[in-house]
Amino acid sequence: MTAGSAVRFWLAQWALLFGCWLLFVSKLDPAESVVGLVMAALAAVIVTGVCRAGLAHFRPSTRMLRGVWHLPGLVLSDTFKVFAVLFGALAGKGMPGRVRAVEFDPGGPDAHSAARRTLAVAALTTSPNSIVIEVDQETLLVHELAPADVSGTLRTLELQ
């Protein structure tokens, strides 16, 4: 990474991280904004340093990133599932939660496989119905509150 590309990378990271800060804070208070600008700059320095040192390898394909657009619908449908479980538990029906292994090829140590693993874990953990506990050589260990088609979700997100 040349010095010029490192600066452009840092600026892109800084803008992205500050945008995330604004989304999380949900207000434009001057004091909050200054703190966000400084923290985003610090985080961008760390990200740029790690990438320049070659310590992080993450190279998602456009196919993988296309699938991310399905995530809001997944979160919404899983929210309804979680509320159904909650109301069922309040009605005395018990909790149907379970831990199960889902077939998943994690790939190798290359940047493309690392991106696919990371996006799969992030997508399944972002939805309120499930959380990934472990990724091993052939499976994802997933806890889910309501029964769900995790493999179907990975296919929809184009990560399987």
Q: Residue 143 carries which DSSP code? A: E
What is the C-alpha separation between 118 and 123, in angstroms, rounded?
A: 8
Domain count, the chain: 2
Residues 90 and 149 in one domain: yes
Residue 160, pLDDT > 80, answer no
Q: pLDDT-derived band of residue 158, with 50, 70 and 90 as boundaries?
A: confident
Instruction: Output the pTM of the full model.
Output: 0.71
pLDDT tens digits, 126-143: 889 999 999 988 899 999
pLDDT at 56: 78
3-state secondary structure 24-82: HHCCCCHHHHHHHHHHHHHHHHHHHHHHHCCCCCCCCCHHHHHHHHHHHHHHHHHHHHH
Whether 33 is covered by a domain: the verdict is yes
My answer on whether 48 and 125 are in the same domain is: no
Looking at the structure, do residues 112 and 84 belong to the same domain, yes or no?
Answer: yes
Say if 95 falls within a structural domain.
Answer: yes
Q: Are residues 88 and 152 in the same domain?
A: yes
Domain of residue 92 covers 62-156
Integer Cα distance of 158 and 127 in angstroms: 16
- In angstroms, rounded to a whole number, what is the distance separating the alpha carbons of residues 137 and 129? 24
Give the SS3 label for residue 99. strand
Residues 34 and 78 in one domain: no
Same domain, 145 and 85: yes
pLDDT tens digits for range 76-94: 999 999 999 999 989 988 8
User: Within this chain, do residues 8 and 26 fall inside the same structural domain, yes or no?
Assistant: yes
Does one domain contain both 47 and 76? Answer: no
**Residue 57 included in any domain:** no
Structural tokens at position 120 = 């799969």
Q: Are residues 22 and 69 in the same domain?
A: no
Residue 159: pLDDT band with limits 50, 70, 90: confident
Mean pLDDT of 112-123: 88
Other Cβ atoms within 10 Å of 65 Cβ, number: 12
Q: Please indicate, yes or no, whether residues 84 and 127 belong to a single structural domain of this protein.
A: yes
Residue 28, pLDDT above cutoff 90: no
